[in-house]
Chains A and B, each alone.
Chain A
Amino acid sequence: MSVWNKQRREEEPAGPLNTNIVRPTPSAPPVEAKKEAITLSSMSSMQTGRMEPDTSRGGSATIGKAVKINGQIYSREDLYVDGDVEGTIELMDHKLTIGPNGKVHAGVKAREVVALGVVQGNVEASERIEIRKDAKLVGDIKTARIIIEDGAYFKGSIDIVKTEPKAAPSQPRPQPAAAAPPVPIAAAASATDAKR
């Protein structure tokens, strides 16, 4: 047990946290059927209540197969869903993977989406989406690129959206005042948390 704790501490960033970390506590309510907006980070230990190192997915947040979430998920890191999610999932600049046990009944927005399980809902993947063999996706897809394996089930529409290349950061913007800075996701999530 102490070995796991040590490893887990090493995974955590040294600086101030920019996302909320959800940890299991003895008095905490069960995770199932939460109807609140939560920000996920490193939830891999939460699914089973045990502290297990998750080296297979490079430290991305994980919703395990025994977890059911009902609500909105915003994440500023990659997310692996192997449980049930109903609501919305927004990762914007990150990758969402729906594992083979994952059941997502949600609208999804992410940079990249990889489906191995079941997805029911519209998906926006700004870079690309992969629908793997044995996956099932019912919904409309908007993406720049799609990869679908033989054996995958897909029902819906595909809209290929050409993304405009981002301007190089070194180039000065012609009208800096006109371009409003994007709202950080953490701030949006905090605002949602504050409403609770």
Chain B
Amino acid sequence: MGLLSDRLKSFLRGPSSSGETGSPAYGGSAPQLASRPGRGESVETRQSRGLDQFFGSFRDQTGLSILDLGGASQENINFITSLGHKFYSEDFLRIFQETFGEDIADQSNPGRIDYFLRRSLEYPDEHFDGVLAWDALEYMEPALLLATADRLWRIVKPKGYLLALFHSAERQRIVPCYSFRIQDARTLRVSRHGERAGSQQLFNNRSLEKLFQKFESVKFFLARDSLREVIVRK
């Protein structure tokens, strides 16, 4: 009877917060690092013109250094190394969460910003031919975002590219979390799992141009579901 009651309680409580969603958010298996589990967890495959442009710009080249800020995933490693490139991995949002947690005010603290960038993007200047930032920049407050964009500019080689994704041009308090797995040069498998606190930063074309103003060019692709794919070239 007790067992039955426990099962009933467990059923009414819904799925547990850990281990139910397949891959944990951004490689973090620890619950405090992962995003909050949210509604509508799903996996979809979608075409990405931004990804197509990103890898199209490296066509016929090998031995390049590509940084993936979404943490290490088998698909992305396989795809990038199969092209003959060197794969670098940073679990950027995990470090972001570890550094700032839910404290938005801390994201304006220069000392904390510096500490965060030393942990996550401590690379020599002009080290990478390409950076896959995915949607990692979408959760940051303006001061941290500017410092991060500046650091990204420094570590990308001249003529190098950066791909970033933004889900909405409007300010949102809660933003869904996604992971991005490369299926081929123009196809992504996107898994939605949970939510994070959104940024007060506005992500429309104008603000993104301003954010990446140190780069030589900024190119936008507006995909379905208001996903904005941004390719910037140093």
CB <8 Å contact, A148 and B72? yes
CB <8 Å contact, B23 and A156? no
CB <8 Å contact, A146 and B77? yes
Q: Tell me, yes or no, whether A167 is within 8 Å of chain B by CB.
A: no
Q: Tell me, yes or no, whether B204 is within 8 Å of chain A by CB.
A: no
What is the bound-complex CA distance between A134 and B27, given in angstroms? 9
Identify 16 residue pairs between A and B in the complex whose beta-carbon atoms are under 8 Å apart, listed by A's number.
Answer: A146-B77, A148-B74, A150-B27, A151-B23, A151-B27, A151-B29, A152-B27, A153-B27, A153-B28, A154-B27, A157-B86, A157-B89, A158-B72, A158-B86, A158-B89, A159-B86
B89 contact from A134, A147, A151, A154, Cβ within 8 A: A154
Interface digits, B57-78 against A, CB 8 Å rule (1 contact, 0 not)? Answer: 0000000010000011110010
User: Which chain B residues lie closer than 8 Å to A66 at the CB level?
Assistant: none
CB <8 Å contact, B71 and A158? no
Q: How far is the CB of B2 from chain A (nearest CB, A)?
A: 32
Known: A133-B29, A150-B23. A158 touches B74 (CB 8 A): no
4 nearest CB pairs, A to B: A150-B23, A154-B72, A151-B29, A160-B81
B77 contact from A148, A151, A153, A155, Cβ within 8 A: A148
Beyond A150-B22, A157-B88, 4 additional contacts (C-beta under 8 Å) are: A148-B72, A150-B24, A153-B71, A157-B87
Number of interface residues of A (CB under 8 A): 18
User: Which chain A residues lie closer than 8 Å to B88 at the CB level?
Assistant: 156-158
What is the bound-complex CA distance between A153 and B81, given in angstroms? 18
User: Which chain B residues lie closer than 8 Å to A154 at the CB level?
Assistant: 27, 71-72, 89, 91
Within 8 A of B (CB), among A123-157: 131, 133-134, 146-157
What is the bound-complex CA distance between A158 and B83, given in angstroms? 13
Interface residues on B, range: 20 to 34
What is the bound-complex CA distance between A152 and B91, given in angstroms? 10
Q: Tell me, yes or no, whether B233 is within 8 Å of chain A by CB.
A: no
Known: A151-B27, A151-B29. A158 touches B91 (CB 8 A): no
Q: How far is the CB of B118 from chain A (nearest CB, A)?
A: 13
Which of A134, A150, A160: most chain B Cβ within 10 A?
A150
What is the bound-complex CA distance between A52 and B233, given in angstroms? 61
Interface digits, B103-126 against A, CB 8 Å rule (1 contact, 0 not)? Answer: 000000000000000000000000
User: Which chain B residues lie closer than 8 Å to A156 at the CB level?
Assistant: 88-89
What is the interface of chain B, defined by CB distance below 8 A to chain A? Answer: 22-24, 27-29, 65, 71-74, 77, 81, 86-91, 94
Q: How far is the CB of B122 from chain A (nearest CB, A)?
A: 10
What is the interface of chain A, defined by CB distance below 8 A to chain B? Answer: 131, 133-134, 146-160
User: Which chain B residues lie closer than 8 Å to A148 at the CB level?
Assistant: 72-74, 77
Q: How far is the CB of B98 from chain A (nearest CB, A)?
A: 11
User: Which chain B residues lie closer than 8 Å to A160 at the CB level?
Assistant: 81
What is the bound-complex CA distance between A131 and B27, given in angstroms? 12
Residue of B nearest to A157 (CB): B88
CB <8 Å contact, A158 and B87? yes
CB <8 Å contact, A153 and B87? no
Residue of B nearest to A162 (CB): B84
Residue of B nearest to A159 (CB): B86
CB <8 Å contact, A150 and B73? yes
Q: How far is the CB of B72 from chain A (nearest CB, A)?
A: 4
Q: How far is the CB of B155 from chain A (nearest CB, A)?
A: 13
Q: How far is the CB of A190 from chain B (nearest CB, A)?
A: 38
What is the bound-complex CA distance between A156 and B91, given in angstroms? 10
CB <8 Å contact, B87 and A155? no
What is the bound-complex CA distance between A121 and B71, given in angstroms? 18
User: Which chain B residues lie closer than 8 Å to A155 at the CB level?
Assistant: 89-91
A147 contact from B71, B74, B90, B91, Cβ within 8 A: B74
Residue of B nearest to A141 (CB): B87
User: Which chain A residues lie closer than 8 Å to B23 at the CB level?
Assistant: 150-151
What is the bound-complex CA distance between A133 and B91, given in angstroms? 15
User: Which chain B residues lie closer than 8 Å to A151 at the CB level?
Assistant: 23-24, 27-29
Q: How far is the CB of A162 from chain B (nearest CB, A)?
A: 10
